[in-house]
Chains A and B, each alone.
Chain A
Amino acid sequence: MNLNYLFDPAHWNLEDGSIPLLILSHLWYVVLALIIGTIIALPIGLYIGHTGRGSFLAINAGNAGRSLPTLGLLMLMVTLLGLGLTPVLIALTVLVIPPILTSAYAGMRSLDPRVVDAARGMGMRPWQVLTKVELPMALPVLISGFRSAALQVVATATVAAAVGLNGLGRLLIDGLAVNDYSRVLAGAIVVAVLAVLLDLVLALAQRWIVSPGLR
């Protein structure tokens, strides 16, 4: 096993199956899953945190979602829906939802109730309390949940290759199938580097988004 595959310039051109194109398709799955997962989980998490209702459901749904094996779910979805992007997105979205849901809930519950009370006392409407006080103050926790969702999904999106799609899993699965460990190693390194870079970008975004008073 060595780094030959990773550093072979032929694998960095823009032809089919090259590393840059696999990175792009990989990121495409990751971004789609994160967007869909956030659209689903964020409002539910905020609602539960804001009202305090249904927290039992949030915590348990979150934990149940975490324990679902992604590969098993993916195979089930492929059996039901056939090959394609949809089963992969469903499996990855299920992975994204729990951390975002629970962090939105936890972020909202961690607020000092006196601050919320003061906001109400100033005559803010519930919507204003949510968008101007609760949400900005919950952001650090919320973003850390989003970051852990992003890390998980960037590593797990490799399963897409198990059902004939692209993504960096192609390097792992094809490499294993033909005993090319140099290719497997290249896939593992690129996924790891991608995960670290993505987390760095999100850390910078967090710095930029979160109000200076909360740091």
Chain B
Amino acid sequence: MRTRIAVAGLAVLFSLAACGANDDPLSKDAGGGSSTSSSTVTIGSANFAESELLAEIYAQALEAKKVQVKRQFNIGARELYLKALQDGSIDLLPEYNGALLSALAKGGAPQGVTTPDQVLAELKKVLPSGTEVLEQSAAEDKDTLTVTSDTATKYNLKTIDDLKPVANQLTIGAGPEWQERYQGLKGLKELYGLQFKTFKPLDAGGPLTVNALVKNQIQVGNIFSTDSSIATNKFVVLDDPKNLYLAENIIPLIRSTSNNPTVSGALNAVSAKLTTENLTTYLAKVQVDKQDTAAVAKAFLSENGLS
């Protein structure tokens, strides 16, 4: 019995070591698909509600212009869907200019680049070959430091700067990546001199973080600026006077082979109408009122004269 288990243990170790020899497990063809016929535009999205809503809006805007569309939503995180875009499994995606720049630029986004125009200019330098971005919209969804209104009143907080004298009494919650990101704890320390009491690794602006804030298990949380939970729970978003967080304007990322005047015309018209306010409103219809994404996208397009 004993030897059998030991042998099994060794086998496990060897097979793990064997997979250690390979490179990045995601580098293998993620989608496995070759590109579809050039007349069809395959639209992808990340695995969260806002990205899916935007992708659906793009899809219906293109369909209104008689472009053939295939939906390939809910793919996953940026690491995955960028590979799918590069191998041609998908042709078009809604993206965020700042986050995309941080992911593509070596060593993250260059410091000092924060406004939408600066970010777009830098982004165009690092886009993978064969892909391009169309016009960016005014709508932004960025990282924020958010507190409850009770916490804000108690410590008189309006900006991230105001946290400085009290940060050592507060617990901050965010996605685990914040521990190592410049746009996380590192930047908060370097730029604002903040040293929090503890860091709780939770989810990226998701329900865990919201819940922990409401229950006061964390006092400061990373919530995305278009999240309807900010209004629902009367959270206070702290201003970022030193621009730690990049601009995060929504922008269509497309394979050059799928780009033509009809497609870019339809998508640029969408970008022209998108604002942070209307995106927040329509996203709340999906997240709070639990309406169907396709119906919400349709309502957005018809109310903005795009259908």
Residue numbers of A with Cβ under 8 A of B are 1-3, 75, 78-79, 82-84, 161, 163-164, 170, 173-174, 177-179, 181, 185, 188-189, 192-193, 196-197, 199-200, 203-204
Among B173, B176, B177, B181, chain A packs the most CB atoms within 10 A around the CB of B176
Closest Cβ of chain A to B181, distance in Å, is 8
Contacts of B176 in A (CB 8 A): 170, 173-174, 177-178
Neighbour of A82 across the interface among B8, B12, B215, CB < 8 A: B215
Can you list the 6 inter-chain pairs with the closest CB atoms, starting with the nearest?
A196-B9, A177-B177, A177-B176, A164-B200, A82-B215, A174-B176
Q: Which of B22-30, B226-234, B281-289 sits within the interface?
A: B22-30
B179 interfacial contact with A, CB 8 Å: yes
Given known pairs A178-B176, A178-B180, the reply for A173 and B201 (CB within 8 Å) is: yes
A192 touches B24 (CB 8 A): no
CA distance A192 to B5 in the complex (A): 12
Interface residues of B in 165-218 (CB under 8 A from A): 173, 175-177, 179-181, 200-202, 207-208, 211-212, 215, 217
Interface residues of B in 73-92 (CB under 8 A from A): 79
Contacts of B202 in A (CB 8 A): 83, 163-164
A1 touches B23 (CB 8 A): yes
B2 interfacial contact with A, CB 8 Å: yes
Contacts of B17 in A (CB 8 A): 3
Given known pairs A82-B212, A82-B215, the reply for A1 and B24 (CB within 8 Å) is: yes
CA distance A170 to B208 in the complex (A): 16
Interface residues of B in 12-40 (CB under 8 A from A): 12-13, 16-17, 19-20, 22-25
Contacts of A170 in B (CB 8 A): 176, 201
Among A1, A84, A185, A199, chain B packs the most CB atoms within 10 A around the CB of A1
CA distance A173 to B178 in the complex (A): 12
CA distance A75 to B211 in the complex (A): 11
Contacts of A3 in B (CB 8 A): 17, 20
